[in-house]
């Protein structure tokens, strides 16, 4: 009995492993949280570092792309579509982060970034669409 009580007490004073990101007591509304942060009434707890080879948001270097469409062939969720010029458009709300397109790309035009904060109210939000033809030469998706 004494052993159990000792264990319980030990657990009670142990620091939790969970990272309470983004705040210890998040309000129901994220907007409210931003307001509280601005007023200095809440503290932002930073996210933990992602491990090596983490598969976050896809990034696309349209300059390097040679339009071989190998990525399109292996993608299990048809994340990519082509515009009239054959440039790829990635609709990331369909992406499963499997990284098969990255492995397949012969010129390393694709990579999985460390970004994981991808929640948006609209799945067609600019942040969730990678479109090389709109911004030639610009690496998008790794901001």
- Report the interface residues with ligand SF4, using CB under 6 A: 58, 65-71, 74-77, 79, 88, 95-101, 104-105, 107, 109-110
Tell me how many degrees the CA angle 71-76-79 measures, rounded to the nearest 5: 65
Instruction: State in angstroms the smallest separation of the CB of 82 from ligand SF4.
Output: 9
* CB nearer ligand SF4, residue 100 or residue 142: 100
Question: Which helix (DSSP H) or strand (DSSP E) does residue 130 occupy?
Answer: strand 129-131
Instruction: State in angstroms the smallest separation of the CB of 55 from ligand SF4.
Output: 7
Q: How far apart are CA 47 and CA 20, in angstroms?
A: 8
Instruction: State in angstroms the smallest separation of the CB of 89 from ligand SF4.
Output: 11
Q: How far apart are CA 90 and CA 130, in angstroms?
A: 5
* CB nearer ligand SF4, residue 23 or residue 104: 104
């Amino acid at each position: 009995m004494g052993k159990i009580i000792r264990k319980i007490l030990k657990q009670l004073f142990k620091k939790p492993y969970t990272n309470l990101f983004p705040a210890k007591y998040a309000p129901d509304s994220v907007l409210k949280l931003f307001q509280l942060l601005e007023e200095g009434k809440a503290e932002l707890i930073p996210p933990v570092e992602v491990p090596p080879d983490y598969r976050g948001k896809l990034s696309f270097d349209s300059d390097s792309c040679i339009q071989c469409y190998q990525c399109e062939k292996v993608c299990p969720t048809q994340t990519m579509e082509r515009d009239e010029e054959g440039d790829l458009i990635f609709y990331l709300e369909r992406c499963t982060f499997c990284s098969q397109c990255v492995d397949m790309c012969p010129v390393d035009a694709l990579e999985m970034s460390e970004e994981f904060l991808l929640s948006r109210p609209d799945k067609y939000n600019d942040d969730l669409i990678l479109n090389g033809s709109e911004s030639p030469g610009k690496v998008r998706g790794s901001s």
